[in-house]
Structure 1
Amino acid sequence: MPNVGAYYFNNTELSIITSLFIYRSGTAEQITYMIQPELAKKITNKKDEVAGYSGRTKYIARLCNNLAKRNLVTTMKTPHSMRLVYFLTQEGLNFAYTVLGIEEHSSSLASGWSGDYGYFDYHLYKPSIERFMHHNLSVNFHIQMLHHASLKQFNYEFIDNRYASREFTLVKEGRKMKRFFRPDGEFKINDINHYWIEIDMSTERGEKLADKFESYRDYLDVISEGIPFSEMNETPHTIVFHSSAIYIATRWISVLNAFLNKMNHYTGLINFRLTNNSTLEHAVVAELSREEHQNKVLKNLQFYLMKEEGFLGLPDTRSQKPNFIKLLPSDEKILGWSPNIIIVDKSDGTKQILLFERFEGMESIGLARIVDFNKKFKSLEIGKTEHIKEIIPVLYFFDVVPNAQSYTMTSAENDLRGIFNKLILHDAKNNLWLDGNDQSQIHTNPLMYRC
């Protein structure tokens, strides 16, 4: 058993101290899952009230109480739960700094990633009672993500808002203004895909919600100035709003509208996703399976492209692996992203573009890219030909059938009113093709359906 000062500590006690340092608080059950995330289940307030502790959790609670007797841990009760919430005392925080080897000057230098922890004053560590429900939802989010990581075999890291908050200088009309970028945290999946996380209590609406996305946009403008977006290290793959609500369909419409209206050209570069406890696992699978889903679409398309003539696209004879048509580098530079398109020859000698984008659950980027492609089409080399008369959007999905209200009640619909009536949906998992207006099945060649 390791000893620190006059006390001996077993490894589990040190894990409790470390967990409370990283997460800032936790019930005995939460601490159990912090240490062993593979044991975690969906945590709800109701279960917290009525469920009994497991043997492992009782053991953790006993160790927490022992640490409390040593004045390293203390407790509080919150209005929404009967469970005791544990967090470090000032002495416990000092002890954590000693155990983790954190130097007193390191708070401004630390990133929070991969054990690079900062030295913060106690008031920045202690969880706020006034904002505890917000903080607790954040704790549960990270526990659930670690649980999914343990089951689905991916690496998961996160930092909270103490590390994620940044000050930056914005120049508008010749004036310098100090601004702050303050997400609730950030996380990484497999150290490749980077996410910003907001814990959404549905309290920010209207102008406040718009202001939040405007601050994101301003921060992105500053850090990406003079640098191609694809070469930026700090830009997120996705912005995640994790909601405290059970029913989030209406919230999706309002936050998506704010995102599309305020994020400007970033809407085609950064995904936006809304989740809650019920949809989080599916969202994780969707994020992990983006390439797999697209490959399934390509496989499904080969049958139709080989069956009839009149297509430019798959199969690509230059490669063993089928792919969509690639635009000229100059066109992709204007867009900032690479569209998935097939070109169809119509009987009247004109051509159609079929633009394929994913719409898996409550995510924005497929809709945003359809808007972006249509707005910029005439400025692209491919759009300057007189032969291409139509752009047909194809939204493909894998597990979640799109609800028409998910896109027709957004501001995207105003931009797409002229082409949404030509929408095609593709169930990539079951290789089914649907009319986007009434979701009736298409039994003919879907690529010729809108000709």
Structure 2
Amino acid sequence: METLRNYKISETKEQIIQQLFIYRSLNIYQLYFFLNRLEIPSTYPHYSLDQLNRDKIRSLYNQLSQLKKSELVIESSKQPPKQYTLSEEGLSVAFQMNNIPEVEGYRRTGWNAEYGYFPYDLYRPVKERLQKHHQHAIDFNVMLQLICIKYDLEYDYIDNRYSSVEYNNEEKGKRIFRPDGEFIVKVKNSNEKFHFWLELDMGTEKSHLLFDKFEKYKQYLNYVSEGVSHTELKGSIPKSILFVTTSQKHIWARWQNVFRNYMNSIDKWGTYLNLYVCNMEMIEHLILAHIQSAKETNTKLNNNLRPLIQDKSFIGQPKPSNAVRQNTVIASFCNLYEEEEEALQWKPMFTLTQLSNKENQVFLYIKFDRYETNGISKVIDFFGKMKSIPSMKQVNAKDLIPVFYYADEKPKSLIFEGCDQIEQFKSIFKYYLWHNYDTNEWFDMNDHEIDSKIINPLNYFKGNNHR
């Protein structure tokens, strides 16, 4: 038992204080999950109290009662389940436990348990009107703990006390960029990490507030990117936003509202910053899809395309050609020249289908997982620049045919209602294909399945098959 600020505190009480210090306010069940991570129900956030260890719950109540009696912890809500928060004295104990001097300006990143000093105002009980939002954040963290245990991943998280940044905007002066948090998921024994900004959505923000939110992302990215390439940025800030909504049955409607405001505000950053919209039940699938290596995905895609480009009816590339450099590792795709990729600031993969007049249709392969924006932004970006790319000129590139590849559930069709550039977007996405790279299924933009044994999808738009 350790003595901190004249209090004798057991190891369990230290753990309780630490969790309240990190997460600000927790109920008894949330504390139980953070202290007993291996006992988080696999059905979380849906569970019954019968799934929990009652003796451990009872013991936690006793420990909290003692901490309340010592005036280190306070009850911060009267509605069950009660919320527990550190008192000012409890916060001072937490600072001592973490070797944090109580000095204004002692700032740290929050990553890897490197915590800084904040005044008690930022640890006070959460206001009633923000309580649901706070509970949403806690549920998210419990869910990520469960996923990382289940799949042997590493996870780190900072809330908006650490993720908030002041920046300068030419038009509006000093502003605060304040996402709800950031988190990193890492595959163990790997250098690869996946870094996200987090936005927690209660489904109540109207269009103008969503627009303002994403405009701040654009302004912040403009601010931090002065004189810096996208490649350099990737190592220092997230390249994705995880937008976790409470919507269950109406996520498609929520997605449309979020999507159009994102597209109307994000400008050139759409090809860098990917927005994922999901609810709590979709997080596991999304994280697993995200950490699946690009090499593994491209191998499957490559294997699916190989018979199609070897089909005698297919005339195009990547058959041997001097016009477009082939990738020797993923032989079913063509790539741009290195200097063209650098100018574009991303690396497209494509095949070419030759038309009778020697012009070529460009089939652009883009990852698309349920509700995400990056693939759409990349297609729009490529469409706008295709005619000026030297290698595209060499092959007489005419039409752009996006091929959205995915695993598991097929995304819904593309809808651009409410987007400022709706007519342009509709013309860009007049023709496109869906491809499930796990099952090797193909669909056209009208959701008609294409039997690749009868019709080569790479020839689908040469004739009248799609009409």
Structure 1 residues without counterparts, runs of 5 or longer? none
Given that 2:260 and 2:416 are in contact with CA atoms closer than 8 Å, whether structure 1 keeps it comes out as no
Please tell me whether residue 210 in structure 1 is matched to residue 211 in structure 2. yes
- The answer for the alignment partner of 2:391 in structure 1 is 382
Deviation at 1:304, TM superposition (A): 1.9
In 2, Cα distance between equivalents of 1:205 and 1:234: 31
- The answer for the alignment partner of 2:53 in structure 1 is 54
Deviation at 1:110, TM superposition (A): 0.8
Per-residue deviation, residues 318-337 of structure 1 (Å, max 9, x unmatched): 63554632212332233221
The DSSP-based 3-state class of the residue aligned with 1:245 is coil
2:136 partner letter:
L
1:355 partner letter:
L
- The answer for the alignment partner of 2:444 in structure 1 is 435
Per-residue deviation, residues 294-320 of structure 1 (Å, max 9, x unmatched): 332122112222333533238998635
Q: Which moved more, 1:252-261 or 1:230-239?
A: 230-239
In 2, Cα distance between equivalents of 1:358 and 1:407: 17
Deviation at 1:107, TM superposition (A): 4.7
Residues 152-163 of structure 1: matches in 2 within 5 Å?
152-163=151-162
Per-residue deviation, residues 189-226 of structure 1 (Å, max 9, x unmatched): 11722111111122222222111111111111010011
Given that 2:19 and 2:34 are in contact with CA atoms closer than 8 Å, whether structure 1 keeps it comes out as yes
Per-residue deviation, residues 147-175 of structure 1 (Å, max 9, x unmatched): 11111121111101111111111224xxx
1:283 partner letter:
L
Please tell me whether residue 182 in structure 1 is matched to residue 186 in structure 2. no
- The answer for the alignment partner of 1:10 in structure 2 is 10
Candidates 428, 441, 445, aligned match of 2:456: 445
Deviation at 1:383, TM superposition (A): 3.6
Q: Which moved more, 1:220-229 or 1:383-392?
A: 383-392
Per-residue deviation, residues 109-161 of structure 1 (Å, max 9, x unmatched): 21111111011111111232231111111111111112111111211111011
The DSSP-based 3-state class of the residue aligned with 2:170 is strand
- The answer for the alignment partner of 2:111 in structure 1 is 113
Per-residue deviation, residues 395-419 of structure 1 (Å, max 9, x unmatched): 1110111111x54546376333234
In 1, Cα distance between equivalents of 2:51 and 2:428: 55
1:147 partner letter:
L
The DSSP-based 3-state class of the residue aligned with 1:344 is strand
Q: Which moved more, 1:324-333 or 1:430-439?
A: 324-333
The DSSP-based 3-state class of the residue aligned with 2:153 is coil
The DSSP-based 3-state class of the residue aligned with 1:447 is helix
Change (3 A) 1:162 1:339: same
Q: Determine what percentage of the aligned residue pairs are the same residue.
A: 29
1:77 partner letter:
S
2:364 partner letter:
L
- The answer for the alignment partner of 1:170 in structure 2 is 169
- The answer for the alignment partner of 1:254 in structure 2 is 257
Given that 2:3 and 2:9 are in contact with CA atoms closer than 8 Å, whether structure 1 keeps it comes out as yes
In 2, Cα distance between equivalents of 1:275 and 1:37: 23
Change (3 A) 1:255 1:277: same
In 2, Cα distance between equivalents of 1:276 and 1:60: 30
In 1, Cα distance between equivalents of 2:293 and 2:28: 36
Change (3 A) 1:347 1:186: same
Q: Which moved more, 1:195-204 or 1:61-70?
A: 61-70
In 1, Cα distance between equivalents of 2:236 and 2:360: 40
Change (3 A) 1:317 1:377: closer
Change (3 A) 1:95 1:314: farther
Change (3 A) 1:305 1:141: same
Q: Which moved more, 1:139-148 or 1:3-12?
A: 3-12
In 1, Cα distance between equivalents of 2:425 and 2:219: 26
Q: Which moved more, 1:213-222 or 1:311-320?
A: 311-320
Deviation at 1:6, TM superposition (A): 4.5
The DSSP-based 3-state class of the residue aligned with 1:327 is coil
Given that 1:107 and 1:117 are in contact with CA atoms closer than 8 Å, whether structure 2 keeps it comes out as no
Change (3 A) 1:261 1:334: farther
In 1, Cα distance between equivalents of 2:403 and 2:5: 65
Please tell me whether residue 92 in structure 1 is matched to residue 90 in structure 2. yes
Q: Which moved more, 1:151-160 or 1:319-328?
A: 319-328
Residues 238-277 of structure 1: matches in 2 within 5 Å?
238-246=240-248, 247-277=250-280
In 1, Cα distance between equivalents of 2:95 and 2:236: 28
2:238 partner letter:
P
Structure 2 residues without counterparts, runs of 5 or longer? 187-191, 463-467
Deviation at 1:231, TM superposition (A): 0.2
TM-score by length of 2: 0.88
- Aligned CA-pair RMSD: 2.4
- The answer for the alignment partner of 2:377 in structure 1 is 368
1:240 partner letter:
L
Change (3 A) 1:226 1:58: same
Deviation at 1:77, TM superposition (A): 2.5
In 2, Cα distance between equivalents of 1:108 and 1:171: 29
- The answer for the alignment partner of 1:280 in structure 2 is 283
Change (3 A) 1:169 1:120: same
The DSSP-based 3-state class of the residue aligned with 1:155 is strand
- The answer for the alignment partner of 2:435 in structure 1 is 426
The DSSP-based 3-state class of the residue aligned with 2:195 is strand
Change (3 A) 1:337 1:188: same
Q: Which moved more, 1:411-420 or 1:437-446?
A: 411-420
Change (3 A) 1:199 1:69: same
TM-score by length of 1: 0.91
Given that 2:263 and 2:270 are in contact with CA atoms closer than 8 Å, whether structure 1 keeps it comes out as yes
In 1, Cα distance between equivalents of 2:72 and 2:143: 27
- The answer for the alignment partner of 1:101 in structure 2 is 99
Q: Which moved more, 1:101-110 or 1:248-257?
A: 101-110
2:318 partner letter:
G
Deviation at 1:96, TM superposition (A): 0.5
1:184 partner letter:
D
